[in-house]
Amino acid sequence: MYIVIALICVGVDQWVAILDHVSKLKKEMAEFQTQRDDELQRLNDFKNQETKRLKQDRKLFEAWQKQQQAAAAKKENQEIEGLQGSYLLPSLSPFCFLPLSSLLAF
Protein backbone atom coordinates (compact mmCIF):
# COMPACT_ATOMS: atom_id res chain seq x y z
CA MET A 1 0.00 0.00 0.00
CA TYR A 2 2.84 2.41 0.82
CA ILE A 3 4.46 1.72 -2.53
CA VAL A 4 1.28 2.56 -4.38
CA ILE A 5 0.92 5.81 -2.45
CA ALA A 6 4.56 6.64 -3.08
CA LEU A 7 4.15 5.93 -6.79
CA ILE A 8 1.14 8.19 -6.94
CA CYS A 9 2.78 11.02 -4.97
CA VAL A 10 6.24 10.86 -6.55
CA GLY A 11 5.48 9.62 -10.00
CA VAL A 12 6.65 6.57 -11.85
CA ASP A 13 9.61 8.24 -13.58
CA GLN A 14 10.98 9.64 -10.34
CA TRP A 15 10.44 6.30 -8.60
CA VAL A 16 12.44 4.51 -11.30
CA ALA A 17 15.21 7.08 -10.89
CA ILE A 18 15.23 6.54 -7.12
CA LEU A 19 15.43 2.76 -7.56
CA ASP A 20 18.26 3.24 -10.08
CA HIS A 21 20.19 5.40 -7.62
CA VAL A 22 19.63 2.85 -4.83
CA SER A 23 20.98 0.05 -7.02
CA LYS A 24 24.02 2.19 -7.93
CA LEU A 25 24.67 2.90 -4.24
CA LYS A 26 24.45 -0.82 -3.43
CA LYS A 27 26.91 -1.57 -6.23
CA GLU A 28 29.32 1.12 -4.97
CA MET A 29 29.03 -0.24 -1.43
CA ALA A 30 29.90 -3.74 -2.65
CA GLU A 31 32.91 -2.41 -4.60
CA PHE A 32 34.05 -0.45 -1.55
CA GLN A 33 33.80 -3.55 0.65
CA THR A 34 35.91 -5.59 -1.77
CA GLN A 35 38.50 -2.81 -2.01
CA ARG A 36 38.56 -2.51 1.77
CA ASP A 37 38.99 -6.26 2.20
CA ASP A 38 41.79 -6.32 -0.38
CA GLU A 39 43.56 -3.41 1.33
CA LEU A 40 43.26 -5.04 4.76
CA GLN A 41 44.65 -8.28 3.37
CA ARG A 42 47.55 -6.41 1.79
CA LEU A 43 48.28 -4.59 5.06
CA ASN A 44 48.20 -7.85 7.03
CA ASP A 45 50.60 -9.45 4.55
CA PHE A 46 52.95 -6.47 4.86
CA LYS A 47 52.75 -6.63 8.66
CA ASN A 48 53.58 -10.34 8.65
CA GLN A 49 56.54 -9.81 6.31
CA GLU A 50 57.91 -6.96 8.43
CA THR A 51 57.47 -8.97 11.64
CA LYS A 52 59.36 -11.86 10.08
CA ARG A 53 62.13 -9.53 8.87
CA LEU A 54 62.43 -7.87 12.27
CA LYS A 55 62.69 -11.25 14.00
CA GLN A 56 65.46 -12.27 11.62
CA ASP A 57 67.27 -8.95 12.14
CA ARG A 58 66.99 -9.33 15.91
CA LYS A 59 68.38 -12.86 15.72
CA LEU A 60 71.34 -11.67 13.65
CA PHE A 61 71.95 -8.74 15.99
CA GLU A 62 71.90 -10.97 19.07
CA ALA A 63 74.37 -13.37 17.43
CA TRP A 64 76.65 -10.45 16.53
CA GLN A 65 76.34 -9.07 20.06
CA LYS A 66 77.32 -12.42 21.59
CA GLN A 67 80.28 -12.62 19.26
CA GLN A 68 81.42 -9.11 20.24
CA GLN A 69 81.06 -9.87 23.95
CA ALA A 70 83.01 -13.11 23.58
CA ALA A 71 85.78 -11.31 21.69
CA ALA A 72 85.96 -8.60 24.38
CA ALA A 73 86.08 -11.18 27.17
CA LYS A 74 88.79 -13.12 25.33
CA LYS A 75 90.84 -9.96 24.89
CA GLU A 76 90.48 -9.09 28.57
CA ASN A 77 91.51 -12.61 29.58
CA GLN A 78 94.58 -12.38 27.34
CA GLU A 79 95.52 -9.04 28.91
CA ILE A 80 95.14 -10.47 32.41
CA GLU A 81 97.26 -13.50 31.50
CA GLY A 82 99.87 -11.19 30.00
CA LEU A 83 99.99 -9.10 33.16
CA GLN A 84 100.23 -12.19 35.33
CA GLY A 85 103.07 -13.51 33.17
CA SER A 86 104.99 -10.26 33.53
CA TYR A 87 104.48 -10.28 37.34
CA LEU A 88 102.70 -6.94 37.26
CA LEU A 89 99.63 -8.64 38.67
CA PRO A 90 100.24 -11.25 41.35
CA SER A 91 98.56 -14.54 40.76
CA LEU A 92 95.97 -15.42 43.30
CA SER A 93 96.82 -18.26 45.62
CA PRO A 94 94.50 -19.95 48.07
CA PHE A 95 96.47 -18.36 50.92
CA CYS A 96 95.51 -14.82 49.96
CA PHE A 97 91.99 -15.33 51.29
CA LEU A 98 93.08 -16.62 54.70
CA PRO A 99 93.36 -14.27 57.65
CA LEU A 100 96.87 -13.20 58.62
CA SER A 101 96.73 -15.05 61.93
CA SER A 102 96.17 -18.37 60.21
CA LEU A 103 99.17 -17.76 57.92
CA LEU A 104 101.42 -17.28 60.93
CA ALA A 105 100.36 -20.68 62.26
CA PHE A 106 101.90 -22.46 59.24
CA 60 – CA 67 distance, rounded (Å):
11
91 band by pLDDT with thresholds 50, 70 and 90: low
pTM of the shown model: 0.52
pLDDT digits (tens, 9 = 90+) for 72-81: 888 888 887 7
In this predicted structure, the answer to whether residue 25 has a pLDDT above a threshold of 90 is: yes
Report pLDDT for 76.
85
Distances (CA, A) of 103 to 44, 78, 98, 106: 73, 31, 7, 6
Q: Could you say which DSSP state residue 83 is in?
A: H
For residues 55-75, give the mean pLDDT: 92
